[in-house]
């Protein structure tokens, strides 16, 4: 959403909110609520075929597809 921005810093949270506002109303949310929105959007992307599950020995994580993720999928298989 806003690579490199820190949600615990006022400026970073504002940039993240600005990017998220393209998808949902985010005005006045806490960083925890913003985390929940990002997680929900990632799940939506997964069901649209635009995210992948990366499995590891200690669990799995759902991430949006990008050039790096395509490389990781090939490596994972």
Q: List beta partners, residue 61.
A: 54
Cα–Cα–Cα angle for 35, 16, 58, rounded to 5 degrees: 35
Query: E-strand spans in 1-77?
Result: 51-56, 59-64
CA 13/CA 33 separation, integer angstroms: 12
Task: Give the residue extent of every domain in the chain.
Answer: 10-76
Contact criterion met (CB below 8 Å) for 53 and 72 = no
| pTM of the predicted structure, to 2 decimals | 0.67
pLDDT tens-place string over residues 31-67:
888 888 888 888 988 998 888 899 989 999 998 887 5
């Amino acid at each position: 959403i806003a690579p490199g921005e820190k949600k615990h810093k006022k400026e970073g949270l504002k940039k993240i909110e600005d990017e998220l506002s393209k998808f949902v109303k985010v005005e006045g949310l806490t960083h925890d609520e913003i985390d929940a929105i990002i997680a929900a959007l990632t799940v939506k992307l997964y069901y649209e075929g635009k995210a992948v599950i990366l499995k590891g020995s200690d669990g799995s994580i759902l991430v949006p597809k990008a050039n790096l993720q395509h490389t990781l999928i090939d490596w994972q298989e």
